[in-house]
Every structure is written in structure tokens, then in C-alpha cells.
């Protein structure tokens, strides 16, 4: 092989290695595996994801969710130095919204046509967390409706 051909071949090999290295670095720290689709998760997995978010966002109140029935979500909260209090949230009548203040607040309230009951608010740091929180709750609502069919 002549010197110009060998030099050209080395350049092509170097270019190929550079492309391969660049392609391998394109994840930029993101997971290489996709997260499970929300519709493919079980009710228990949705509750687990919600509890992970609540644990991560805990500020002054410890909150934990459990699914009592397919349509009843039980919320247990404990403030520092206080006893645990529980509330049962009926998924089929729950209104889920979020608002923007300094941070994002997810509001859970009974539907407007129901007797007044306590609203529950969860503060999360970002828009993505608020949307994910709402999505997990909506998936639980859909599972509730499906369980009645």
C-alpha cells in the first residue's frame, strides 16, 4: 500500500472512531433504557412512584399513599411531633390540578359537585414532576373506572 493510500485509510479509520465515540456520548447522562410507559404500570407501581415523589419532596410533613381499594387512595400524613392522620380520597371524584407559585403545587380536591372536603396539596420542584404526579393519579383513576366494568 502506498503512503498516500495508507494515510487516507488512517484518516477514514480515525473519522470512524470519532463518529463512534460521539455517538456513544450522546446520552448526556440520560438513561439508555426507556422508563416504563405510564399505561403499562400496575396500580401498585403508580402508588410506589407517587410515594417516591412525596419522599423526595418532603419538607415539613411526611406523607404516604396506599391503595385501600381500586377506587380509594388512603393518604397518611405526619407532621413533626404530631400523630399520624389519614384521609381517604375517592379516585373517581378527585379533581387534580397544579398551579405555579415559587414552585409547583399539585392540588387534589373533591369534584365541584360534591360536599366540601379538605383539599390536599403537594409541592414539587418542577413542572415535569407536577405533570408526572398528575399522570400517575390519572392512571389510578382510569384503573378505578376499569375495575367497575
1 plus 71 within the same structural domain: no
What is the pTM (predicted TM-score) of this model? Answer: 0.66
| pLDDT above 60 (res 43) | yes
10 plus 63 within the same structural domain: no
For every residue of the chain, DSSP letters joined together read: --HHHHHHHHHHHHHHHHHHHHHHTTTTT--SSPPPPGGGS-HHHHHHHHHHHHHHH-SSSEEEEEEEETTEEEEEEE-TTS--EEEEEEGGGEEEEEEESSSEEEEEEE-TTSPP---EEEEESSHHHHHHHHHHHHHHHHHHHHHT-
**Domain that residue 26 falls in:** 1-33
16 plus 42 within the same structural domain: no
Q: What is the pLDDT of residues 110-136, one digit of tens each?
A: 655 545 456 677 777 778 888 888 899
93 plus 79 within the same structural domain: yes
Q: What is the mean pLDDT of the chain?
A: 75
14 plus 29 within the same structural domain: yes
Say how many domains are in the chain: 2
- Lowest-confidence range among 79-83, 98-102, 144-148? 98-102
Amino acid at each position: 500500500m502506498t503512503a498516500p493510500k495508507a494515510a487516507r485509510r488512517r484518516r477514514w479509520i480515525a473519522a470512524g472512531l470519532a463518529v463512534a465515540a460521539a455517538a456513544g456520548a450522546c446520552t448526556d447522562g440520560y438513561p439508555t433504557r426507556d422508563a416504563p410507559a405510564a399505561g403499562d404500570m400496575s396500580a401498585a407501581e403508580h402508588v410506589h412512584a407517587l410515594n417516591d415523589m412525596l419522599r423526595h419532596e418532603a419538607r415539613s410533613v411526611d406523607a404516604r399513599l396506599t391503595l385501600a381499594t381500586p377506587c380509594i387512595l388512603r393518604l397518611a400524613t405526619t407532621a413533626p411531633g404530631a400523630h399520624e392522620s389519614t384521609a381517604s380520597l375517592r379516585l373517581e371524584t378527585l379533581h387534580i390540578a397544579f398551579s405555579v407559585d415559587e414552585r409547583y403545587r399539585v392540588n387534589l380536591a373533591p369534584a365541584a359537585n360534591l360536599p366540601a372536603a379538605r383539599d390536599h396539596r403537594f409541592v414539587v420542584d418542577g413542572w415535569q414532576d407536577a405533570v408526572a404526579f398528575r399522570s400517575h393519579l390519572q392512571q389510578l383513576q382510569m384503573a378505578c373506572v376499569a375495575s367497575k366494568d
